[in-house]
Amino acid sequence: MGVKIVAMGSYIPENILTNADLEKIVETSDSWIVERTGIRERHIASPEDATSDLAYRAAVKALQKAELEPEQIDVILVATACPDYLFPATACIVQAHLGAKRSACFDIEAACPGFIYALEIARGLLSIPNYRNILVIGAETLSRITDYTDRNTCVLFGDGAGAAVVTKDNSDSDILSSYLKGNGEVHKLLMLPAGGSRKPASFETVRDRDHYLKMQGREVFKHAVNGMQDAAQKVLERAGFRSEDIDWLVPHQANIRIIEATREKLGIQPNKVYVNIDRMGNTSAASIPIALSEMEDKGLLKRGQLVLIVSFGAGFIYGAMLLRW
């Protein structure tokens, strides 16, 4: 059985938050943000939009490209750390908007590597006869859980969504190898402390700003570089390729210095790395599908190319996949 990524789509909110805008909100500077992160601007969802709205628009584009009707979708998977609600799943709201009446739908909370985790789940589901077409979406409205009084985090994050239509046929698979890993020992380094069962919403949690993302940036940085290198090497080994065989490295867009350090450790040429962090910031689970969708629209991805996607995020968790485009 061959698992195929037949179409990609993305949705980027129009509203832009620049470094100059942030200079007016917290004590920071354009030069600090660009030098330490590579980010110049990020997109922010309209107040009336939730994660499902962004996900829906990305899904519509992917379905149009795949020339599929919503009724032909068997499963909708939404990878997100910013669901519309704690429950029901954001995927159910996307299903309702699309009118994808036949589909099963559920969310995957796997932070930034969520899209890679969702692709792996889709691959597993496609081995079951009942399923043929799966919509895999990474969508985030991180601006809703970002503390715009905390300069350590508020410069990093943006909103957006990317979607892939994944299907199966009798040809070779587009997914050559994959690797997923977790390290829950350090889960407190990056988290949203309140609103779940550990710390339900209360006067104190609101007062203490515990409904916003908290991060120990320097520690995250170290884990990110090591984890991304490890995951990337594992998928290369598993598929029998070397880093010089890669046509494109599409890393999670968290920080240009993390991307650069990972690229260097892997020994991949700079012109083979796709970077859009300057325009998008960190869009978590949406980052890789947005990048792939942009690359496809720009004609950068050619049939047969080897594409290495790799990501890390809160948990900590890591993931990589080697794709034959």
Could you list the active site residues?
112, 252, 282
Q: Sign of dihedral through CA atoms 66, 274, 224, 38?
A: negative
- Closest residue by beta carbon to ligand ACO: 217
Residue with Cβ nearer ligand ACO (126 or 224)? 224
Residues at the site binding ligand ACO, with contacts judged by CB under 6 A: 28, 32-33, 36-37, 81, 111-112, 151-152, 155, 190, 215, 217-218, 220-221, 224, 254-255, 258, 282, 284, 313-314
Candidates 52, 69, 180, 68; CA nearest to 105 is 52
Tell me how many degrees the CA angle 181-305-163 measures, rounded to the nearest 5: 60
- At residue 82, the 3 state secondary structure works out as coil
Query: Whole-number minimum distance, CB 50 to ligand ACO, in Å?
Result: 18
Query: Whole-number minimum distance, CB 306 to ligand ACO, in Å?
Result: 26
Nearby residues of 144 by Cβ (< 8 Å), 6 or more positions away: 45, 82
Amino acid at 68: L
Are the C-beta atoms of residues 192 and 321 closer than 8 Å to each other?
Answer: no
Residue with Cβ nearer ligand ACO (98 or 288)? 288
Tell me how many degrees the CA angle 137-168-239 measures, rounded to the nearest 5: 85
Nearby residues of 207 by Cβ (< 8 Å), 6 or more positions away: none
Query: Whole-number minimum distance, CB 207 to ligand ACO, in Å?
Result: 23
Query: Whole-number minimum distance, CB 148 to ligand ACO, in Å?
Result: 11
CA distances from 196 to 23, 105, 110, 192, 321 (A): 32, 22, 16, 9, 31
Residue with Cβ nearer ligand ACO (33 or 73)? 33
Nearby residues of 146 by Cβ (< 8 Å), 6 or more positions away: 153, 154, 157, 212, 213
Query: Whole-number minimum distance, CB 190 to ligand ACO, in Å?
Result: 5
Residue with Cβ nearer ligand ACO (95 or 282)? 282
